[in-house]
């Protein structure tokens, strides 16, 4: 292949082959991302295969696909009979395989109590009328899938399906019709900013690396994704690995790199396997390797498995790790664009950033720039976790509010409890309160609010969450993950953690709040790398928006959420009916009392677990 016309011929060939393979066949797709497998997808797959075999159904094709984003509904199974709409079934168990095969596959009757939604209009007369369209589901209404466009739709192991749906057109266009400078200009026009946390303009970053003169350059994908509650990059690599490969090759061409590395954490074995296959298939097809698309451009891609150190998400530590050294940050300047991997000019972006690149080359930078806000273009993928009804992935236009993401897409707070805060940006981000729910999610608005975009993790918290304890959790994480190279991060976060533990244990003093803020300011100003500089953010954000909780811990020796055991006490009031539920559920044997008589809690035995409080049907137990 030497041009777009050749690629279009291949694309049409693949489309025809897929159509012929699927003609008069029932297509069954099973969500085989990590979330699906964890929910039991392998057993569901085996059960479906057995039912199909037992019924001698030779017109059924069962395929794997990635995560479509509805992680809360896993295991997900899609069934499309010839000429009919595709129906998605959620929370499928192995025992459901028989009814799905016999009712839907054989008789064409959808199993409505398992159905989540349908992909297309039509066929209402076949019993599909009361199954909602995907576009009508609250989870989907405000989403716009670009990066996740193929996830849950195509087989991630199939180069043929990727190419048939427009794959590698962006790469071909770049190599055969545009110069490296023109590619960079399209990325600049798009307004794409790095999706890994900092939000630096991608085109500008590429320009720096392009302008550096050297005999060898490198391009790296940071797929380390170490933030608690973040799984966006993993889902893209598992569900659409060729999109990452294509974006990296385009980036390599733009800056003049001939070697690329995907630095992916070893805890992502499925993502690694699918990337390895994608790289091998792309090389065999001529999309990777030497003289790509008949040009003189050569590019080779490698996978480096990281050992799980959070600090290796920092770009200079990441490069140290690739070089076989201990992953520790180094001072900047020089910046990687000048002296990076093995001292050569290097560009580093994360998975989601590269996943946007091919679409921009196909449709143009101006097309992309029409989405989002003035300073934050395009869409952003978020991982919804914590005390939220619909956990999973959501891709929304930049500028969508936190309220829309949490309540419209995520369905609100689990168990209908009261919203308290959302942690955005991981350990480097901040906790935002209810008053900030209408904040548009874009880089600049979040920074002003004391948080940051980060890679896109959203951890939702309800009224039972203690914000002092949350600050301690994230600071414990960053302190334990500190590489120890610089004193402000190594010692400063340790001192901050000691103060937080003192407050949580009921031994805090009001001046401790000033100490926390002074330590935080010093660490932010003097730590060596970005991870150390942002480590105090969760503490500063909780002090900014939830200072009253800190003061209650110190002045009143009281945790309003009842989460800090040293400051929590349970009492049984005269509302007690003597049902005995509290006594039966107490793991410490701390509750005594006769049937139908008021029970009592032995303070010396009580471990403050809250089991009695949660199990009392008469609300006779109070937390004080």
Question: pLDDT tens-digit profile of 564-590?
Answer: 988 988 999 999 999 999 999 999 999
Helical segments of 152-265, H only: 159-164, 169-177, 180-190, 202-211, 232-239, 241-255
For residues 124 and 114, give the distance between their C-alpha atoms in angstroms, rounded to a whole number: 18
C-alpha pair distances (Å), 257 with each of 115, 192, 234, 354, 426: 48, 20, 25, 15, 31
pLDDT value for 476: 93
Q: 315: closest CA among 331, 334, 336, 301?
A: 336
For residues 611 and 500, give the distance between their C-alpha atoms in angstroms, rounded to a whole number: 26
511-559 pLDDT per residue, tens? 999 999 999 999 999 999 988 999 999 999 999 999 999 999 999 999 9
Q: Give 589: exposed, middle or buried? Use CB within 10 Å, 0-12, 13-18, 19+.
A: exposed
For residues 221 and 267, give the distance between their C-alpha atoms in angstroms, rounded to a whole number: 16
pLDDT value for 127: 74
What counts of helices (H) and strands (E) characterise the chain?
A: 26, 18
Residues of the chain with pLDDT under 50: none
pLDDT value for 197: 76
For residues 566 and 549, give the distance between their C-alpha atoms in angstroms, rounded to a whole number: 15
pLDDT value for 122: 62
Q: 209: closest CA among 338, 330, 348?
A: 338
Look-up: residue for tokens 């079934």?
89
For residues 321 and 336, give the distance between their C-alpha atoms in angstroms, rounded to a whole number: 14
For residues 222 and 265, give the distance between their C-alpha atoms in angstroms, rounded to a whole number: 9
pLDDT value for 589: 94
8 Å CB contact between 37 and 270: yes
pLDDT value for 541: 94
* pTM of the model as a whole: 0.93
C-alpha pair distances (Å), 252 with each of 102, 221, 249, 301, 399: 51, 11, 5, 10, 30
For residues 384 and 382, give the distance between their C-alpha atoms in angstroms, rounded to a whole number: 6
Helix (H, G, I), strand (E, B) or coil at 260: strand
Cα torsion 252, 253, 254, 259 to 10°: value is: 20
Helix (H, G, I), strand (E, B) or coil at 107: coil
């Amino acid at each position: 292949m030497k041009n777009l016309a050749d690629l279009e011929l291949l694309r049409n060939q693949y489309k025809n082959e897929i159509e012929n393979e699927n003609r008069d066949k029932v297509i069954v797709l099973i969500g085989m991302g990590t979330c699906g497998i964890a929910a039991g997808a392998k057993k569901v797959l085996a059960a479906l295969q057995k039912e199909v075999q037992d019924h001698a159904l030779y017109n059924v094709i069962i395929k794997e696909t990635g995560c479509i984003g509805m992680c809360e509904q896993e295991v997900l199974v899609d069934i499309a009979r010839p000429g009919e709409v595709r129906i998605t079934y959620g929370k499928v168990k192995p025992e459901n395989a028989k009814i799905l095969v016999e009712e839907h596959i054989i008789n064409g009757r959808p199993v409505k109590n398992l159905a989540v939604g349908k992909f297309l209009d039509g066929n209402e007369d076949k019993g599909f009328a009361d199954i909602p369209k995907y576009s009508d589901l609250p989870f989907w209404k405000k989403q716009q899938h670009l990066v996740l466009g193929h996830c849950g739709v195509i087989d991630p192991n199939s180069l043929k399906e990727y190419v048939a749906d427009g794959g590698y057109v962006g790469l071909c266009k770049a190599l055969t019709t545009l110069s490296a400078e023109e590619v960079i200009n399209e990325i600049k026009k798009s307004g794409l900013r790095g999706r890994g946390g900092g939000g630096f303009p991608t085109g500008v970053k590429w320009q720096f690396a392009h302008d550096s003169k050297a005999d060898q350059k490198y391009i790296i994908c940071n797929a380390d994704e170490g933030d608690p509650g973040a799984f966006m990059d993993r889902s893209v690599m598992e569900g659409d690995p060729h999109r990452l490969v294509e974006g990296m090759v385009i980036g390599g061409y733009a800056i003049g790199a001939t070697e690329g590395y995907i630095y992916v954490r070893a805890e992502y074995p499925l993502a690694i396997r699918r990337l390895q296959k994608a790289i091998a298939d792309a090389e065999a097809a001529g999309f990777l390797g030497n003289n790509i698309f008949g040009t003189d451009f050569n590019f080779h891609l490698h996978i480096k498995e990281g050992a799980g150190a959070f600090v290796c998400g920092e770009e200079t530590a990441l490069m140290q790790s690739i070089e076989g050294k201990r992953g520790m940050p180094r001072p900047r300047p020089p910046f990687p664009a000048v002296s990076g991997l093995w001292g050569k000019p290097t560009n580093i972006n994360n998975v989601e950033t590269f996943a946007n690149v091919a679409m921009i080359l196909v449709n143009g930078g101006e097309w992309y720039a029409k989405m989002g806000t003035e300073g934050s273009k395009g869409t952003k993928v978020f991982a919804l976790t914590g005390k939220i009804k619909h956990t999973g992935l959501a891709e929304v236009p930049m500028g969508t509010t936190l309220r829309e993401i949490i309540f419209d897409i995520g369905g609100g707070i689990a168990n209908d409890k009261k919203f308290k805060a959302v942690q955005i940006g991981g350990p480097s981000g901040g906790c935002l309160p209810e008053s900030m729910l209408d904040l548009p999610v874009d880089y600049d608005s979040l920074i002003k609010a004391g948080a940051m975009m980060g890679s896109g993790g959203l951890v939702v918290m309800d009224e039972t969450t203690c914000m002092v304890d949350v600050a301690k959790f994230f600071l414990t994480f960053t302190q334990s993950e500190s590489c120890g190279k610089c004193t402000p991060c190594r010692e400063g976060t340790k001192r901050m953690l000691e103060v937080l533990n003192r407050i949580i244990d009921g031994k805090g003093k009001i001046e401790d709040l000033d100490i926390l803020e002074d330590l935080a300011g010093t660490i932010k100003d003097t730590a060596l790398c970005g991870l150390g500089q942002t480590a105090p953010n969760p503490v500063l954000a909780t002090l900014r928006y939830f200072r009253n909780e800190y003061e209650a811990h110190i002045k009143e020796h009281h945790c309003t959420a009842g989460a800090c055991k040293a400051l929590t006490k349970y009492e049984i009031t005269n509302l007690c009916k003597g049902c005995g539920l509290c006594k039966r559920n107490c793991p410490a044997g701390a509750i005594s009392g006769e049937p139908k008589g008021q029970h009592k809690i032995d303070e010396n035995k009580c471990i403050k677990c809250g089991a009695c409080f949660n199990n009392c049907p008469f609300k006779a137990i109070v937390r004080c």
